[in-house]
């Protein structure tokens, strides 16, 4: 399998004499104060609480007020980890502040802060509850402070104070919810990105497995085509040779020559298949031209001696090389089946017709086409491998968008008939 292509980023060449930029270094204190650092978040919340408490004590240096200020500021340190506890504590302290004191101080900041905290880090129900508490405080607090500070506060003062405090609470809530929605969107996008990556990796693995399966199937088909036929020819010649030696000793040399030539050709084709499998390391003289073609069909038929005859009509040069490979493999497999299944006395007729746009191949024998042996030439692949050749032939023809039929003839014998385009070469496997 060729290694998957990996995209690379080409950087522009650096000008001579220009030093490479140094990597940015972040101070440890700056990294600590980032929002993604747990300790940094805690330090920031503690700084907010301390600053707010100091401001409240300075504004009103009164012991009960100082105690309430501390009660409202300390929960702000834990507003992210325990937003509910912070809301309850700040609400109780703010309520006491409204009852005991006459001036608004840190409560106008602490309450919006905890509302923001629940809106950002808690559920929608908790955030709405915090908003309701904050709005109630925005109404009750200003009403209490105005009634104490002014003898007859005007309606405009009431409205301005309530609307102003309520606007701060609502703004804190909206900012918190928007931040939460943005974070949820980023998490969702990251999850979807991870799922897409997993899906892409899974699809890539499936594609690699499919490619590997296709290659194994192709190798099995090529090896079957060349080895099965060659061994069948060798077996027939050897069996005939045993009888021929006794009756015609002078022909033994001819038979041995056929066996040797067939063995040598099968070995050469097997080496070419192995070389094709090593195409990821091609040499400078790598040759991927088809190993066999229509011109080799005559030699293929001649190996069977008088048991097969060939008739070619039309212009063989009009065929594409890969179509010629397919024709050769069809004839090869068909003759192999004749040797294996049609019987020792069977004869075969091979007819190849090339027209302007298509090629017709017909291989017919007069053997036991309707007898028991014909079942070994069906489409079903048996455990011993019978039927593999016809399946491979049909697959080869389908790669050319052609058709193939095979079956016993009515008067006896077996026929293979294939029609494929003469020029269609895409997808066909070379031999």
Residues 248 and 261: their CA atoms lie apart, in Å, by 21
How far is C-alpha 28 from the geometric centre of its chain's CA atoms? 41
State the distance between the two ends of the chain, measured CA to CA, in whole angstroms: 19
Question: Which residues make Cβ contacts (< 8 Å) with residue 19, sequence separation at least 6?
Answer: none
Question: Which residues make Cβ contacts (< 8 Å) with residue 262, sequence separation at least 6?
Answer: 230, 233, 234, 237, 303
Structure tokens at 395: 């697959």
Least confident of 29-38, 117-126, 199-208: 29-38
Residues 160 and 171: their CA atoms lie apart, in Å, by 16
Name the helix (H) or strand (E) containing 176: helix 155-223
Structure tokens at 264: 């040598």
55 pLDDT tier (thresholds 50, 70, 90) = confident
Q: Is 314 left (phi over 0), alpha (psi -120 to 50) or beta?
A: left
* Mean predicted confidence (pLDDT) in 176-200: 91
Percent of residues in the chain assigned helix, strand, coil, to nearest 5: 65, 10, 25
At residue 428, the pLDDT reads 43
| Cβ atoms within 10 Å of 396's Cβ, excluding its own | 26
Contact (CB, 8 A) for 297 and 331: yes
Q: How many residues are listed for the chain in this entry?
A: 431
Statement: residue 245 has pLDDT above 80: no
Statement: residue 374 has pLDDT above 50: no
Q: What is the pairing mode between strands 308-314 and 348-354? A: parallel
DSSP label of 122? S
Tell me which residue of 311, 405, 323 sits closest to 357, measured CA to CA.
Answer: 323
Residues 420 and 400: their CA atoms lie apart, in Å, by 6
Residues 23 and 31: their CA atoms lie apart, in Å, by 15
Q: Tell me the backbone φ, ψ of residue 2, rounded to 5 degrees.
A: -70, 150
Domain architecture of the chain: domains with CATH: 37-198 (no CATH), 290-431 (3.30.565.10)
How far is C-alpha 43 from the geometric centre of its chain's CA atoms? 45
Q: Pick the more confident residue, 157 or 380.
A: 157
Tell me what percent of the residues of the chain surpass a pLDDT of 70.
70
Give pLDDT tens digits for 60-95: 777 777 888 888 888 888 888 888 888 888 888 888
DSSP label of 304? T
Q: Pick the more confident residue, 196 or 232.
A: 196
Name the helix (H) or strand (E) containing 194: helix 155-223
At residue 149, the pLDDT reads 66
Q: Pick the more confident residue, 20 or 201.
A: 201
Contact (CB, 8 A) for 414 and 377: yes
DSSP label of 4? P
pTM of the full predicted structure?
0.43
At residue 288, the pLDDT reads 46
Contact (CB, 8 A) for 422 and 319: yes
At residue 38, the pLDDT reads 67
Radius of gyration of the chain (CA): 45
Contact (CB, 8 A) for 309 and 352: no
Residues 360 and 402: their CA atoms lie apart, in Å, by 10
DSSP label of 75? G
Give pLDDT tens digits for 12-46: 444 444 444 544 555 555 555 455 556 767 788 78
Q: Is 412 left (phi over 0), alpha (psi -120 to 50) or beta?
A: left
Question: Which residues make Cβ contacts (< 8 Å) with residue 141, sequence separation at least 6?
Answer: 94, 98, 104, 107, 108, 165
418 pLDDT tier (thresholds 50, 70, 90) = very high
């Amino acid at each position: 399998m060729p290694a998957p292509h990996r995209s690379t980023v080409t950087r522009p060449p650096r000008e001579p004499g220009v030093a490479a930029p140094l990597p940015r270094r972040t101070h440890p204190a700056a990294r600590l104060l980032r929002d993604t650092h747990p300790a940094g978040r805690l330090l920031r919340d503690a700084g907010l609480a301390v600053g707010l408490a100091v401001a409240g004590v300075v504004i009103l240096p009164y012991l009960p007020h100082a105690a309430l200020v501390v009660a409202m500021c300390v929960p702000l340190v834990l507003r992210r980890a325990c937003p509910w506890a912070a809301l309850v504590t700040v609400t109780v302290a703010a309520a006491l502040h409204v009852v005991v004191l006459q001036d608004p101080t840190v409560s106008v900041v602490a309450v919006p802060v905890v509302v923001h905290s629940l809106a950002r880090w808690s559920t929608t129900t908790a955030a709405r509850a915090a908003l309701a508490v904050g709005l109630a405080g925005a109404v009750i607090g200003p009403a209490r402070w105005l009634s104490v500070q002014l003898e007859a506060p005007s309606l405009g003062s009431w409205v301005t104070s309530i609307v102003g405090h309520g606007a701060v609470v609502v703004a804190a809530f909206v900012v918190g919810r928007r931040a939460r929605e943005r974070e949820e969107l980023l998490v969702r996008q990251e999850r979807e990105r991870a799922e897409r990556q997993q899906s892409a990796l899974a699809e890539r693995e499936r594609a690699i497995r499919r490619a590997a399966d296709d290659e194994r199937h192709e190798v099995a088909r090529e090896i079957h085509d060349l080895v099965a036929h060659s061994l069948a020819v060798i077996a027939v010649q050897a069996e005939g040779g045993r009888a021929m030696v006794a009756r015609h000793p002078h022909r033994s040399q001819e038979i041995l020559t056929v066996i040797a030539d067939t063995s040598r050709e099968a070995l050469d084709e097997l080496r070419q298949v192995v070389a094709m499998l090593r195409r990821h390391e091609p040499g400078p003289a790598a040759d991927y031209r088809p190993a066999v073609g229509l011109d080799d069909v005559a030699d293929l038929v001649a190996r069977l001696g008088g048991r097969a005859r060939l008739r070619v009509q039309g212009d063989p040069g009009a065929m594409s090389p890969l179509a010629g490979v397919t024709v050769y493999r069809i004839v090869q497999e068909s003759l192999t089946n004749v040797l294996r299944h049609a019987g020792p006395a069977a004869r075969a007729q091979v007819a190849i017709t090339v027209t302007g746009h298509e090629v017709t191949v017909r291989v017919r024998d007069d053997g036991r086409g309707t007898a028991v042996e014909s079942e070994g030439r069906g489409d079903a692949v048996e455990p011993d491998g019978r039927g593999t050749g016809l399946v491979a032939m049909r697959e080869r023809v389908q790669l050319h968008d052609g058709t193939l039929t095979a079956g016993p003839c009515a008067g006896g014998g077996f026929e293979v008939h294939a029609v494929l385009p003469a020029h269609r070469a895409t997808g066909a496997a070379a031999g």
